[in-house]
Amino acid sequence: MFRTNMVNAKACATLCLPYQRLLKDDGIPFDNPFLYQSIVGALQYLTFTRPDIAFSFHQVCQFMQKPMLDHFTAVKQILRYLKGSCHYGLTFQKGSLDLTAFSDADWAGDPNDRRSTTGLVVFLGSNPVSWSSKNQHTVSRSSTEAEYRALSTTSAELDWIKQLLVFLQVPILQPPVLLDNLSAIALSFNFVQHQRTKHIEIDFPMGYRDLLSSTSGS
């Protein structure tokens, strides 16, 4: 707040404007790239305890090399939101040690390269222990493919947490992965190779598909 002279700025209730899409080379270049990089770098530390800003941070961190004025406006929107929600945080409660994961994807949501965004969160009982919002490595040709890739990433993260709990001798049941795409769920349970899915066959080895079919749910 001090770096941007926003200590007395008006707080806001939302992280970004509806349907906001930040373009790479559109608009006026921001005259202080170092300030932009410094603030966005500081926001990264906040994502460790504030999963609610993960998606907005993911958007603004893509323009570190050549930020535009619109990008810095989006950063200031995040700062205004943080000012109004500085009392937010994570509360960890005693209870069940069951794992539950949630997976989602924003198909072709990046207007710069049309890559999809994977979003995931893993809960240990009622406590979030892992979350992420990041672009997928390749362009997906359908929402089903984007959701399936997100499911793969979520299942891999969930498997890592399971191995950690096993190492700590914490008994766990087979955890579910929850998502909202019936086609991706069906594909994970019964991967049928045909013209529209053979490129996914290359991206996901058999081990991943076995993991997906054992954890996905609706």
pLDDT at 190 over 60: yes
The domain spans of the chain are 13-90, 99-217
For 11, phi and psi rounded to 5 degrees?
-75, 155
**pLDDT tens track for 32-90:** 999 999 999 999 999 999 999 999 999 999 999 999 999 999 999 999 999 999 999 89
Q: Which of 186, 194, 191, 218 is nearest to 204 (CA)?
A: 191
Of 61-65, 114-118, 210-214, minimum mean pLDDT range: 210-214
**Distance in Å from the first CA to the final CA of the chain:** 42
Of all residues in the chain, the percent with pLDDT exceeding 70 is 87
Q: How do beta strands 99-106 and 177-178 pair?
A: parallel
Report the C-alpha gap between 190 and 192 in whole angstroms. 6
For 126, phi and psi rounded to 5 degrees?
-100, 10
Report the C-alpha gap between 20 and 35 in whole angstroms. 22
99-217 homologous superfamily = Ribonuclease H-like superfamily/Ribonuclease H (3.30.420.10)
Q: Which of 106, 169, 175 is nearest to 134 (CA)?
A: 106
C-alpha Rg value of the chain to the nearest Å: 19
**pLDDT tens track for 20-32:** 789 998 899 999 9
Q: Give the pLDDT mean for 110-114.
A: 93
**Which residue did the predictor score with more confidence, 216 or 81?**
81
Tokens 């993960």 label which residue? Answer: 54
**pLDDT tens track for 144-158:** 899 989 998 999 999
Measured over the CA atoms of residue 20, residue 3, residue 48 and residue 87, the dihedral's sign is negative
Report the C-alpha gap between 57 and 90 in whole angstroms. 18
Within the chain, strands assigned E span: 99-106, 117-124, 127-135, 177-178, 216-217
Report the C-alpha gap between 132 and 99 in whole angstroms. 16
pLDDT for residue 12: 94
